[in-house]
Amino acid sequence: MDSAEMQAARKLLPAEPAQAHYFLDQGFPDLVATAKEAFAALGRKARERLVRIRRALFAPYGTGFIERAIPFTTGLSSLTAIIVGGFPMMALITLAHATVVAIAAAPSALGVAVMRRVDALHAKRADLSGICPTCKMPFQLPGYRCPSCGAIHYRLRPGRYGVLHHTCTCGQKLPCTWFGSDESDKDGRTFKRDELEAVCTNPAKPHAVEGKETRAVCIPVAGGRSTGKTAFLNAVSYALTEQIAPARGISVSFPPGDSSAFHREVVADYAAGEVSMTVEPTDLSQPTSRALSFRLQSSALVPPRTVHLMDVPGESFVANTEHERQVQYGIADGVVLMIDPMSIPLVGDANRHRLGMIDSAGMGMESPDRVLAALIAKMQDASGTPAGQRLCTPLAIVLGKIDQAGLFRNFDDAAARDLMARDPSVTSSNAHDALCRRFFADNGMGNFLNAVESRFATVRYFACSAIGHVRGTGPYAPRDAMEPISWILAQSDPELHRALGLDGGSSA
């Protein structure tokens, strides 16, 4: 979603259910209305005098001198008084009134200008942002519900409704700055703005979202059916929330919505070595894509991060039958594109017979070229990128399921050392990327490689096994599943990358 679309979306928000500050809202409009009416009344009086003078001058033949002189004289004197005295006097009164209004409004206007600037600088410095995990709408400031009446305030920042607080139409005062905390609800509980119940800025369906100030990190996991997206998401989210973050002293919490239930499902699948297939809901009012969202917070991570890992059914992704527009591709920090090696014709033909029954049943068959074309179309639409222009979002292309048919031998450290020995241009930092590119090229996917290079400015290839073995035969034992996420975070959020120790830092 580009800036123009976001501006248009903000204009669709309903009127603010707050009492506007008189001098900031109606003071000058009332003065202008009063002045217009006063000058209009004087104008009507002046026109009446002109009519009287004209009638005196052009009275019917035979009208006496006195009958002409008196109306003419009184009309002229009245018109002169209106022009010389009435209009200037009304101008002086209007100016005096404007001065009074300006003096009364100046402190509030100055306060609004200063506090709005402070609020804006704070948001810019911290790079605050949010994403609704349900409808994928991005926002900097969510809507906040009044704790007394439940009305949603979408513009709870310094402005014409107040400098430090807004007064809801029900009378409840709400802090409108990130530091304000002097208001209290009907039970006497004081609160800050980010402690109010928050909703996304979709006025049609205001879904519950994280209300505390955070920076959103959005990583969609894309791919065709049975390419291993959900297993990859399970492995990554489990590693981040259950292993890496706790080891680094980073607390993990889950925002409102379905994320807590989604996480429990991930933990259960991880322990069982299973995958809960992401299916397209039959209810068209429900979103097709799912987001596992979690909040990471520590003293070393300012502001906290809300990470959104997004999954969508492969058949919906390729056929473009999602129930909602996939705007996350336009605001993503990076995108993971999963490719099942068996979906590459030459690889599948040579190795399909080596798969067991379970692996054969879960084999991805969607053409990588078709999946790539679907991703490019979605990213162009969501970001507003013109056709033919390279996309700037980092793309991690991941060959999954390398535990199958002994494919891991093509990507292990021995293969990397062999490649570096034969090609001096390959270093240890890019050896596995080069191995994956060579795998595509050696298996007839040169056009795929060329399409990727021509359409993406930043891309890297990875190979991993999310489960590590045949599904359902034991807990997950992922191999290199975190590498694509680590690379994306290094590109888009180095601070989070360091805080998680993904840069090789100690785990203390």
Which distant-in-sequence residues (6+ apart) come within 8 Å of 15 by Cβ? none
CA distance 174 to 172: 6
Q: Residue 136 has what pLDDT?
A: 84
Residue pLDDT, tens place only, 178-205: 887 666 767 777 888 888 999 998 888 8
Q: Tell me which of 111-125, 372-386, 472-486 is least confident.
A: 111-125
Question: What architecture is the 215-499 domain classified under in CATH?
Answer: 3-Layer(aba) Sandwich (3.40)
Question: Given the structure tokens 């429990």, which residue do they identify?
Answer: 264
Maximum mean pLDDT: which of 13-17, 361-365, 490-494: 490-494
Q: Residue 293: beta bridge partners?
A: 308
Cβ–Cβ under 8 Å, residues 386 and 425: no
Q: Residue 60 has what pLDDT?
A: 73
For the chain, the domains span: 3-21+128-209, 24-125, 215-499
Looking at per-residue pLDDT, the higher value among 370 and 503 belongs to 370
Q: Where residue 434 falls among pLDDT bands split at 50, 70, 90?
A: very high
CA distance 458 to 437: 14
Q: Residue 154 has what pLDDT?
A: 92
Q: Where residue 11 falls among pLDDT bands split at 50, 70, 90?
A: low
Residue pLDDT, tens place only, 171-180: 899 998 888 7
Any alpha helices (H) in 61-213, and if so which ranges?
Answer: 65-81, 87-126
Cβ–Cβ under 8 Å, residues 303 and 212: no
Residue 277 in tokens: 């297939």
Has residue 1 got a pLDDT over 60?
no
Q: Residue 7 has what pLDDT?
A: 61
Percent of the chain with pLDDT over 70: 89
Of 492, 502, 410, 413, the C-alpha closest to 458 is 492
CA distance 177 to 156: 8
Q: Tell me which of 37-41, 64-68, 273-277, 443-447 is least confident.
A: 64-68
Q: Tell me which of 52-61, 128-137, 408-417 is least confident.
A: 52-61
Looking at per-residue pLDDT, the higher value among 9 and 111 belongs to 111
Claim: this prediction has a pTM higher than 0.75 = yes
Residue pLDDT, tens place only, 394-406: 999 999 999 999 8
Q: Where residue 123 falls among pLDDT bands split at 50, 70, 90?
A: confident
State the average pLDDT for the chain.
85
Dihedral Cα 211, 214, 219, 220, nearest 10 deg = 10
The average pLDDT across 396-418 equals 93
CA distance 166 to 159: 9
Secondary structure class of 207 (helix, strand, coil) = coil
Looking at per-residue pLDDT, the higher value among 306 and 205 belongs to 306
CA distance 369 to 181: 54
Has residue 508 got a pLDDT over 60?
no
SS3 letters for 326-395?
CCHHHHCCCEEEEECHHHCHHHHHHHHHHCCHHHHHCCCCCCHHHHHHHHHHHHHHHHCCCCCCCECCCE
Cβ–Cβ under 8 Å, residues 182 and 175: yes
Which distant-in-sequence residues (6+ apart) come within 8 Å of 122 by Cβ? 128, 178
Q: Residue 506 has what pLDDT?
A: 41
